[in-house]
Amino acid sequence: MKAKDRIIVALDVNTPKKALELVKELKDYVGCFKIGLQFINAMLSSIITPETETWAIQNLESIRKLFAALSGNILWDGKFDDIPNTVGGASQEVVKIGVKMFNVHASAGKEAIVQAVANKGNSLVLGVTVLTTIDEDECLSIFGGRPDRKVADFALTLSHSKADGVICSAQELKILARHPGTSKLLKVTPGIRPKWAQTGDQKRVMTPGEAIKAGADYLVIGRPITQPPEEIGNWEDAAKKIAREIEQALKEKGGE
């Protein structure tokens, strides 16, 4: 992969028009786009709630143009977390869109992951472990263990269930590297913040270069690209700057 192909831009916007603008501007400078819960529901809202049918049709046309522009380079961030039968059914439907990847919460259990894998078609199944906004205290409260331990547990379950990859903080990548059972999983890391970007609501973060050196295959990046600091420039400038950091990290990693 080229350095840019490791970048997954989060389309955390509230209108199809805004998403289409981002994709048209960035598709030549990144590898993939993440469509998450905010935009999934925004798309539904844009065609259900308009007062006129004309407005709804215009939004629907924008959505169809958006998916044509995406050409399947999509991480569908639906975070399926339900009983196995429902997860399997949801997986069957999302692969009809032709997405490159979609995800399921590892905490849904092995059978739910197995159902996602059984119905994945040509897509890749990724498992969400511990969200990067969750700190150690909250992880203990929710899962009964520290993030490093729980991410390792979830990753092993994903591997045993034949999932294709794991989504976790870059801070847990070195821990996964010590588990032979998770070596074949693709490592997808959100919570990526360049030194020039604000951390925001993220708790467990790394820079793009640090994450690549730690073993990340793909980096999910939102606001540093879609809302870059003024001194960095526009969306394209931010994406290029991050790709250069990734390329440098890959060179340094290869020389170790």
**What average pLDDT does this structure show over 39-59?**
96
Domain residues for the domain of 54 are 3-254
> Quick one: what percent of the chain has pLDDT higher than 90?
86
pLDDT at position 34 is: 98
CB 220, CB 34: distance < 8 Å: yes
Q: What is the pLDDT of residues 72-88, one digit of tens each?
A: 999 999 999 999 999 99
CATH number, residue 10: 3.20.20.70
pLDDT at position 24 is: 96
> Quick one: what percent of the chain has pLDDT higher than 70?
97
| Distance between CA atoms of residues 147 and 150, nearest Å | 5
Helices marked H in the chain — which ranges? 16-26, 37-48, 53-70, 84-95, 110-118, 136-143, 147-160, 173-177, 208-214, 223-226, 235-254
pTM of the model: 0.93
Distances from the Cα of 79 to the Cαs of 9, 14, 56, 125, in angstroms? 17, 18, 27, 11
Q: How many domains does the chain have?
A: 1
Q: Six-digit token pair at 93?
A: 């439907």
**What average pLDDT does this structure show over 166-182?**
90
pLDDT at position 178 is: 87
Total residues found in the chain within this entry: 256
**What average pLDDT does this structure show over 132-160?**
93
**What average pLDDT does this structure show over 34-50?**
96
SS3 63: helix
Torsion of the alpha carbons at 73, 41, 151 and 119, rounded to the nearest 10: -60
Q: 58 pLDDT exceeds 90?
A: yes
Q: What is the 3-state secondary structure (H, E, C) of 165-211?
A: EEECCHHHHHHHHCCHHHCCCEEEECCECCCCCCCCCCCCCECHHHH
The packing angle between helices 235-254 and 16-26, to 10°, is 50
pLDDT at position 244 is: 97
**What average pLDDT does this structure show over 162-167?**
97
Q: 256 pLDDT exceeds 80?
A: no
Catalytic positions? 79
**What average pLDDT does this structure show over 93-120?**
98
Q: What is the pLDDT of residues 187-223, one digit of tens each?
A: 999 989 998 877 655 556 789 999 999 999 999 999 9
